[in-house]
Amino acid sequence: MLNLLQQCSGAKTIGITGHVRPDGDCVGSCMALYLYLKKVMPDAEVLVYLEESAKAHYQIESVKEIDYNFTSKPHYDVFFCLDSAPERTGQGQALYERAAKKINIDHHITNPGCGDVNVIQPEIGSTAELIYNLIPEEDLDNDIAKALYIGIIHDTGVFQFSNTLPSTMIAGSKLIQYDIDFANLIQESFYEKTYKQTRIMAEAVLKSERYLDGKCLLSYFTREEMTKLQADSPDFTGIINRLKTVRGVECAVFMYEIEPGNYKVSLRTSDRVDATKVTTVFGGGGHVKAAGCNIQGTPEQVITKLTEEIAKQV
Minimum distance between the CB of residue 193 and ligand AMP, rounded to whole angstroms? Answer: 16
Q: In whole angstroms, what is the distance from residue 184 CA to residue 136 CA?
A: 26
Closest CB to Mn ion among residues 208, 276: 276
Instruction: Report what 284 binds from Mn ion, ligand AMP, none; CB cut-off 5-8 Å by kind.
Output: ligand AMP
CA distance to 161, 168, 184, 275, 276, per residue, from 251 (Å): 15, 25, 31, 8, 12
Q: Which range in 2-10, 176-184, 197-205, 289-297 contacts ligand AMP by CB under 6 A?
A: 289-297
Closest CB to ligand AMP among residues 180, 226: 226
Interface with ligand AMP, residue 269, by CB under 6 A: no
Interface with ligand AMP, residue 19, by CB under 6 A: yes
Interface with ligand AMP, residue 290, by CB under 6 A: yes
Minimum distance between the CB of residue 6 and ligand AMP, rounded to whole angstroms? Answer: 28
Interface with ligand AMP, residue 292, by CB under 6 A: yes
Q: Which range in 35-43, 136-144, 216-224, 285-293 contacts ligand AMP by CB under 6 A?
A: 285-293
Minimum distance between the CB of residue 25 and ligand AMP, rounded to whole angstroms? Answer: 7
How many CB atoms are closer than 10 A to CB 64?
8
Instruction: Report what 129 binds from ligand AMP, Mn ion, none; CB cut-off 5-8 Å by kind.
Output: none
Q: In whole angstroms, what is the distance from residue 80 CA to residue 115 CA?
A: 9
Minimum distance between the CB of residue 236 and Mn ion, rounded to whole angstroms? Answer: 14
Interface with ligand AMP, residue 303, by CB under 6 A: no
Minimum distance between the CB of residue 14 and ligand AMP, rounded to whole angstroms? Answer: 23
How many CB atoms are closer than 10 A to CB 151?
32
Closest CB to ligand AMP among residues 91, 110: 110
Minimum distance between the CB of residue 88 and ligand AMP, rounded to whole angstroms? Answer: 5
Of the candidate residues 57, 88, 244, 305, the single one contacting ligand AMP (CB under 6 A): 88
Interface with ligand AMP, residue 92, by CB under 6 A: no
Q: Binding string, 47-86, against ligand AMP, x = CB under 6 A?
A: ----------------------------------------
Minimum distance between the CB of residue 245 and ligand AMP, rounded to whole angstroms? Answer: 15
Interface with ligand AMP, residue 32, by CB under 6 A: no
b or e along 110-149 (b: 16 or more beta carbons within 10 Å of the residue's beta carbon)?
A: bbeebbeebbbbeebbbbbbbbbebbeeeebeebbbbbbb
Instruction: Report what 143 binds from Mn ion, ligand AMP, none; CB cut-off 5-8 Å by kind.
Output: none
Closest CB to ligand AMP among residues 102, 108: 108
Q: In whole angstroms, what is the distance from residue 75 CA to residue 65 CA?
A: 19
Q: Which residues bind ligand AMP (CB under 6 A)?
A: 19, 88, 108, 110, 240, 266, 284-287, 290-293
